[in-house]
Amino acid sequence: MLVESVGAAALLGACGVAWAVGGRSSPVFGPNVWRGRRDQPWIALSFDDGPSESTPELLEVLKRLDAPSTFFFCGASVRRLPEIARQVVREGHEAGNHADSHRRLYLRSPGFVADEIRRAQETIAAVTGVKPRLFRAPYGGRWFGMRRALSELGLVGVAWTAIGMDWRLPAGKIVRRLLRYARNGAIFCLHDGRAGEPRPDIRATVEAVRLLIPELQARGYSLKTVSQILCPTT
């Protein structure tokens, strides 16, 4: 009986830690939002891991379909491709912070976590002239030190309503997966990079976006940045 009780307690403890680290509504390591306001028919597309050499192809689609989006940049990728980062901002999209190196933050020291967030923030601001307001943890995993770092830098943690799994699914399945979660205030997570890899293949992502946006618009949704649906100005 004692062994069973200890085992159950350990399991519950592990589940609690997993929720704290990756639960989309978990406030344990700082405020974290996973959807926007639901009083308007709007949805936010967000893209992680960039910028990459493939980002401009995605930007062409977004421009043609009039879909301002939020790009969570890795600091190292911004330093490698500064002009593409500036292009994202120049074309009216929002720049967010996705840490510096895209290494997992959980099970790291608070100092490591803070340095990853701060270095990316400084890089993005210096290169693009825009200071990010939003932060998304690599792999969605949060950890000790994050609450203080976000507070000091004036950042809001952002998860997602649905993730497209676009690094491994074909375009059609990505679209069907996200459409199941199409609701007022939804935040969709896609990727214009692949964990900082040079010249990533994001053809499935680009094609999915090309198919997804017209379908969302046909259902009456407007495409906005994440900040717009969290703190609308109109």
Catalytic residue, candidates 48, 49, 100, 192: 48
Catalytic residue, candidates 93, 98, 102, 191: 191
Q: Respond yes or no: is residue 49 known to be catalytic.
A: no
> Are 112 and 87 spatial neighbours (Cβ–Cβ below 8 Å)?
no
122: enclosing H helix or E strand: helix 110-128
Residue 65 CB burial class (10 angstroms; 0-12, 13-18, ≥19): middle
Q: Is 88 helix (H, G, I), strand (E, B) or coil?
A: helix
Q: Respond yes or no: is residue 191 known to be catalytic.
A: yes
CA dist 99 to 126, 138, 186, 203, 215, Å?
Answer: 15, 7, 23, 24, 32
Residues marked as catalytic? 48, 191
